[in-house]
Amino acid sequence: MSVETASGEDLHAAMVDQLVADHAEKGLVMRPEVEAALRSVPRHLFTPDAALAEAYRADQAVVTKRIGDEAVSSVSAPWLIAEMLGQAADAVDGGLAGRHVLEIGSGGYNAALLRELVGPSGSVTTVDIDREVTDRATACLTAAGYDDVAVVCADAEQPVNPGRTYDLIIVTVGAWDISPAWTAQLAENGTLVVPLRTFGMTRSWAIRRTGDRLISYSQRLCGFVSMQGAGAHQVRYVDIADGVHLRLDEDQQVDRRAVGELLAQPQTQAWAGVSLPPRTVLADLDLWLASRITDAGQLFVVLTAQQEAVDSGVVAPAWRFGTPAALDNGAFCYRSTLRWNDDDMFDLGACAHGPDAASAAGRMVGQMRAWLDSGSPSPVLQVLPAGTPDGDLPAGTVLDKRHSRFVLTFTPA
| Per-residue pLDDT tens over the stretch 127-154 | 999 999 999 999 999 999 999 999 999 9
Q: How far apart are the C-alpha atoms of 397 and 394, rounded to whole Å?
A: 9
**9 vs 69, more confident:** 9
Surface-to-core class of residue 405, CB atoms within 10 Å of its CB (0-12 exposed, 13-18 middle, 19+ buried): buried
**For the chain, how far is it from start to end, CA to CA, in angstroms?**
42
Say how far apart CA 274 and CA 251 lie, in whole Å: 35
What is the average pLDDT value for the chain, to the nearest integer? 93
Spatial distance between the Cα atoms of 410 and 208, rounded to a whole number of angstroms: 17
**Average pLDDT for 167-181:** 95
Provide the percentage of residues in the chain whose pLDDT is more than 90: 81
Question: Distances in Å between the alpha carbon of 331 and those of 182, 254, 328?
Answer: 41, 13, 6
Question: Can you tell me the distance from the alpha carbon of 330 to that of 350, in angstroms, rounded to the nearest whole number?
Answer: 16
pLDDT tens digit string along 187-235? 999 999 999 999 988 999 999 999 889 999 999 988 887 888 999 998 8
Measured distance CA(353)–CA(361) in Å, rounded: 9
Bridge partners of 302?
A: 247, 324
Residue (of 182, 33, 187, 186) closest to 115 by Cα position: 33
d(CA 377, CA 281): 11
Which amino acid appears at position 56 of this protein? Y
Digit-coded pLDDT (tens) for 37-50: 999 999 999 998 88
Does the predicted model carry a pTM greater than 0.85?
A: yes
Specify the pLDDT at position 3: 47
**What are residue 278's phi and psi, to 5 degrees?**
-55, -30
Q: What's the pLDDT score for residue 196?
A: 95
- For 4-89, strand residue ranges (E) read 62-67, 70-75
Helices (H), 320-405: 357-373
The catalytic residue positions are 76
Which pLDDT value is given to residue 413?
64
What phi, psi does 83 have (nearest 5°)? -70, -40
Rounded Cα gap, residues 258 and 53, in angstroms: 49
